[in-house]
Chains A and B, each alone.
Chain A
């Protein structure tokens, strides 16, 4: 029995991964996006070994002088902060936080959104009504204020930040995947599967899910990008986790220190990283949009 379930879930999964890789790499923009993403991923994984210094260590230069607000040099490739912290080390370790928050909240939110969308779309009727009204209510919540209030009530920790983002960000994917599920449900092969006596579970996850997969991955990419932007914004507003470094947090420190007038290097590095990472996700999602479904723009 378990092997049967394994077969029905993992075989198509492998096929899907190969297919999706094909979709992304068939598009030049997709290849560029994927390579940037892989680069950031490698930096994030090996961050502690790549960072030359402790991110919260006050640095002294070769002449034993306190290295405060140094512009980029051989010694400090991306310069230092007013407290003498090495920005290059901070940037590398921050990659880890940013990618962690982005991928975890992206994955959980697409899992919730996809399941709610599939179930609402497939069953219709009362269940659909209930789930979609709930989604509507979430749409009435102002996005960033909702997250800020939750973080300030829960406490400023990484897991609560992820929780707050997940709690609201799934709403878009649920709506879109529900719409797609409804249109797939009416196709003949679903009626055929029902006639063969397939269970609802099997129809939803074995027959409908593979057909919404490109859409699902597209929204997974969107959710990751939105989570990253959201995390950066909340950190910049001072609602980040004080124990870890993130790119948004680095910019918050800059704004707080009041050194924006002089320290352009402090601004440049994290900003460029945020933009590059988000653009790489946008490029990947555009590769999907061109192949998967031209009518996706209606969110």
Chain B
């Protein structure tokens, strides 16, 4: 087990290093030269040279690359072109906001998906089963910005039940995460984005849970439990659901990877001050240090979460360790 974790850890670090290197290449070598934003060609030639030297752009590319890697590790990610703030300061504040929304969305997806999946398998072919499948598929086909817009237009604009966006009322920035969690205004604002993300990913755990429940329900030990005369609710939740859950855990890593993507759209729509919104804003305003830092942080999030679900999965199902070598590579 320790051996497995260690090897996964090394893979994770290699992937991170590769992503950071590709990012360097993307920002330095692509046609839309990132430096044009700060160093205008209209400036005096001598000034241009001095500025390039100040940014370290006069050095050969390979040397720039090593400086870049060193700066990444020492957490010197540069300053924003627009606000001149430290990129690390901006990103670290945003990081927790993104994580908060992501976790609440995933919790909703998983609890609703697993719970409803069990019930749908139990009442197979009932209106609930068919309705659940259809609703899941419709929300999966609708990109999150459509669901989100619909919720905004009906529940916020028309009925006035929820605020239209943000994380807290303007001017009431809480001083800590606990202060934030104690604000009723925060809970009012997290409902719609959570629901939007949650419903978008619902179909996957829902259908997988339903299908693996049906598979488990056909097995011998369930027959035996039935023959013993156990109540069907006990069979469903205590005997069948436990084994069917494994299929959903496999999916968790896929869901986690996708959830980071859905986050970008939802945060922009609901003006949630997270990394996704920052990513869109900085890319649109060509604020490359911020875009680069945010991208890297999102990549760390994706890679780190994949690592955790990998470990979690091999812990839950020891059989997988052998075959995972073949599958997950």
Does A275 make an interface contact (CB < 8 A)?
yes
Where chain A touches its partner, the secondary structure class is helix
Contact residues in A for B298 (Cβ distance below 8 Å)? 142, 145
- Chain B residues with CB under 8 Å of A143's CB are 257-258, 260-261
> Which positions 1-25 of chain B face chain A at CB distance < 8 Å?
11, 14-16, 18-19, 22
Contact B283–A148 (Cβ < 8 Å): yes
- Kindly identify, within residues 183 to 235 of chain B, every residue whose CB is under 8 Å from any CB belonging to chain A: 208, 211
Report Cα–Cα, A260/B140, bound state, in Å: 23
Give every chain B residue within 8 A of A261 (Cβ-Cβ).
153, 157
Chain A binder among B45-53, B54-62, B124-132, B299-307: B299-307
Known: A139-B257, A154-B30, A261-B157. A251 touches B280 (CB 8 A): no
| Chain B contact residue count (CB 8 A cutoff) | 59
Let me know if B150 is at the binding interface, CB within 8 A: yes
* Cβ-defined contact, A148 with B138, below 8 A: no
> Once the chains bind, are B141 and A282 in contact (CB under 8 Å)?
yes
With the chains together, A297 CA to B203 CA distance in Å? 12
Minimum CB–CB distance from A49 to chain B (whole Å) comes to: 29
For A297, give the chain B residue with the smallest CB separation.
Answer: B208
Q: How large is the interface on A (under 10, 10 to 19, 20 to 34, 35 or more residues)?
A: 35 or more
Q: Does B169 contact A (CB under 8 A)?
A: no
Q: Which one of B34, B254, B261, B284 contacts A238 once the chains associate, using CB atoms below 8 Å?
A: B284
A236-280 CB mask vs B (1 if < 8 Å, else 0) is 111100000000100100010000110010010001001100110
Are B145 and A251 in touch, CB under 8 angstroms?
Answer: yes
* Interchain CA distance A268-B49 in the complex, whole Å: 54
* Distance between Cα atoms of A140 and B22 in the complex (Å): 11
Of the A-B pairs whose beta carbons lie under 8 Å apart in the complex, a sample of 14, sorted by A's number, is: A137-B19, A141-B299, A141-B302, A144-B261, A145-B298, A150-B26, A152-B32, A154-B31, A182-B326, A233-B264, A274-B146, A275-B138, A278-B142, A279-B141
- Name the 9 nearest CB pairs between A and B, nearest first: A278-B141, A143-B261, A142-B298, A144-B261, A152-B283, A140-B15, A153-B30, A137-B18, A279-B141
